[in-house]
Amino acid sequence: MTKAVMLAAVLGLLTCGCSSFNKDWKAAEDMTVPPGEISGRWEGTWKSEVSKHSGNLKCIIRPAAQTGHYEALYHAKYAKILGFTYAVELETKKQGEVYEFTGSADLGKVGGVYKYEGHVDRSRFLSTYTSKDDHGTFEMLKISPP
């Protein structure tokens, strides 16, 4: 019985951010984005090059308080049922129509510190990630407003 309670608690912790993310995702649908901006809703996939696992990925990008920075709020699916939401501050540098970025997030016991590097334009987001035990890619396309 104790193992079942522990498993339920872990699953609850991994999925608790989903309803909050869904609320933010819906609100971002009406986000006004100036031309050439990368803010908005993004959707695609993540893939681990170490474990070969992959899953769906959603992201809301919005300007951060610091100039030249954006907040990326990710919601990753694992095994099609487990969801995990976390935020990363991206430091950006605009090169023509492309934003190059770096960022990091400490995901604690879930995986430690993850570092991100990539580029994004008005329609495509490409990133690599690395951590102590894993590395892989994020690939997403911008979701057009309705």
The overall average pLDDT reported for the chain is 86
> Quick one: pLDDT band at residue 146, thresholds 50, 70, 90?
low
What are the pLDDT digits (tens) for 91-133? Answer: 999 999 999 999 999 988 878 999 999 999 989 999 999 999 9
3-state secondary structure 32-77: CCCCCCCCEEEEEEEEECCCCCEEEEEEEEEECCCCCEEEEEEEEE
Q: Which fold has domain 2-142?
A: Lipocalin (2.40.128)
If residue 15 lies in a helix (H) or strand (E), which one and from where to where? helix 2-15
Q: Locate the domains of the chain by residue range.
A: 2-142
Q: Which of 104, 107, 105 shows the shortest CA–CA distance to 117?
A: 104
